[in-house]
Amino acid sequence: MTIYINFFSHHFIPDLRVALAALALGLYARCTVVFRPLRRERRMPWVLALVLIGFFLWLAENFGTLFGVWQCPNQFGAWATVHVGKWGAWSLLVMMSFSIVANLKYIKAPIRLAP
């Protein structure tokens, strides 16, 4: 929840992304994510997965701005890479999204719809 609030409040109060990322690293350092490419189960540290997903989203954002899909405020005169700080923001956003979906899964499980 604090991550979500920080996305909106960092314009008015100090940005807490670094502190939130350090807290998340401490909380989730031992967690793993399981995925199954080609029917074989593989594991990856969850923090590494978040960093990689954040990186590829940041990269996609750079390609989007390079090809003119949208522009960031610092790109009106000429193209420039999106600030590297967005990488961390994307990683935190993905972590928040994973947490919301995981919690909704347990809320939805006991709900049975009548046929």
Annotate 29-69 with DSSP letters as a single string. Answer: TT-EEEE-GGG--EEEEHHHHHHHHHHHHHHHHHHHHHTTS
Cβ atoms 50, 95 nearer than 8 A: yes
Question: Is the confidence at residue 31, as pLDDT, over 80?
Answer: yes
Question: Does a structural domain hold residue 114?
Answer: no
Distance of CA 106 to the CA centre of its chain: 21
Q: CB-based contacts of 36: which residues, under 8 Å, 6+ apart?
A: 42
Question: Does a structural domain hold residue 35?
Answer: yes
Question: Does a structural domain hold residue 18?
Answer: yes
Question: Does a structural domain hold residue 104?
Answer: yes
Angle between helices 85-108 and 46-66 (to 10 degrees): 120
Domain count along the chain? 1
State residue 59's pLDDT score. Answer: 94
- Model-level pTM? 0.76
Question: Does a structural domain hold residue 113?
Answer: no
- Averaged over 5-31, what is the pLDDT? 84
Q: Which domain holds residue 76?
A: 2-108
Question: Does a structural domain hold residue 115?
Answer: no
Question: Does a structural domain hold residue 52?
Answer: yes
Q: How large a percentage of the chain has pLDDT more than 90?
A: 17
Question: Is the confidence at residue 45, as pLDDT, over 70?
Answer: yes
**Confidence tier at 1 by pLDDT (50, 70, 90):** confident
Question: Does a structural domain hold residue 65?
Answer: yes
Distance of CA 49 to the CA centre of its chain: 10
